[in-house]
Structure 1
Amino acid sequence: MSGLGLTDEEIQAMTAAERRELVRRLAPAPTGLMLSPRTMQRIRKWRLVLLLLAVAVLIPWTVYLGNTLPSHYVARNWVATWVGFDILLLTMLTVTAIAGWRRRQLLFPFAFATGVLLICDAWFDVMTSQRGDDLLQAILSAGLLELPLAFVLIAGPLRLMRYVAIRHGLVEPGVRMWRVPIAMPELWPERSVPVVVVDPDPPL
């Protein structure tokens, strides 16, 4: 008999939906950690508006740059730019490794951001390299090191996030990662599945 008054056999007999509902009821949403639902909806709306405005501005700006930027350009602070970027990348890799070693949820954002930085590193290395051995080295470095590591750093935490969502009853096991909702109480489905908890000490 478990502390909930349910036997292992009774829990195994539950459907997947009933078990998820039981998990939700055993882990109610904490109070005092988030803003009010109305405030959060307002913030969410304005964030979406800002993102859409950024997209609307970036499209013509990209077209403009494609038509006006010179093919060759002498850059300032070339050494400081790349050394500073590598220091940032090294810092992110170190923090990601520490978070992974200590099993902290900070692993998720840091690993994803580090993967994106590695993709950027590979892109700019290849695009700014001179033809010949320099370009070949950049392509090999991107294909054999930076891009595979970026895939591991991005895909791994995404799979862990999906596992956590399934483990805590937020989604069905078959739901794809891009369909997993943010764990907000108002996004959970209505609790329509009854869960009966057996009294461990029924009256005689």
Structure 2
Amino acid sequence: MTTSIAHRDGALAAFVFLGGAIAVGAWTVLLGFYAPAAARHLWIGFDLLLVAGMALTGWLARRGDGRAALTAAGLAALMLADVWFDVMTARPGHRPASIVMACTLELPFAAVCAAFALRIRARGWR
């Protein structure tokens, strides 16, 4: 793989993953104010794990580090778990919104994470 391809792929991935970390971080702050008190600390903790995974993946990608494949794959799995718990624990009137959010944001991002991990492996990042 040429250096310019790795640099371009890494810069784009860093933008996507670091942007995601900022967006989920802002969402997590909102959760602190509006999530049901009974589960607030669990959701905030899980979302902070997602933020950390996104930030680490973005940082590794920017450096062209092949370990970004591992963090992206782990992040894909965490995103799928997030979808499952978001939909299954949604309050009675909020499940449709949870499903829409899963289908438009969380599942596509999980697919991006998995595709990025496979792309890194296929291109042979070190």
* TM-score of the pair, normalised by structure 2: 0.65
Aligned to 2:65: 104
- Confirm or deny that 1:138 pairs with 2:98: yes
Aligned to 1:88: 49
- Map Cα deviations across residues 118-157 of structure 1 (whole Å, 9 max, x no partner): 111011000111232x111211111000110100101222
Of the candidates 130, 153, 168, which is equivalent to residue 113 of structure 2? 153
One-letter amino acid of the structure 1 residue matched with residue 100 of structure 2: L
5+ residue gaps, structure 2, are: 1-36
- Confirm or deny that 1:117 pairs with 2:89: no
CA distance in 1, matches of 2:114, 2:49: 17
One-letter amino acid of the structure 1 residue matched with residue 124 of structure 2: V
5+ residue gaps, structure 1, are: 1-75, 166-204
- Confirm or deny that 1:163 pairs with 2:86: no
- Map Cα deviations across residues 76-107 of structure 1 (whole Å, 9 max, x no partner): 96221111111111100111111111211120
Aligned length: 89
Please state how far the C-alpha of 1:163 moved relative to its aligned partner.
3.2
* TM-score of the pair, normalised by structure 1: 0.41
* Pair member with larger Rg: 1
Aligned to 2:17: none
One-letter amino acid of the structure 2 residue matched with residue 162 of structure 1: A
CA distance in 1, matches of 2:91, 2:105: 20
Runs of 4+ in structure 1 deviating by more than 4 angstroms, as ranges, are none
Please identify which structure carries the higher helix content: 2
Aligned to 1:187: none
CA distance in 2, matches of 1:77, 1:131: 16
One-letter amino acid of the structure 2 residue matched with residue 91 of structure 1: A
The alignment yields a C-alpha RMSD, in angstroms, of 1.9
Kindly, what percent of the aligned residue pairs are identical? Answer: 33
Q: What does residue range 28-107 of structure 1 map to in structure 2 within 5 Å?
A: 78-107=39-68
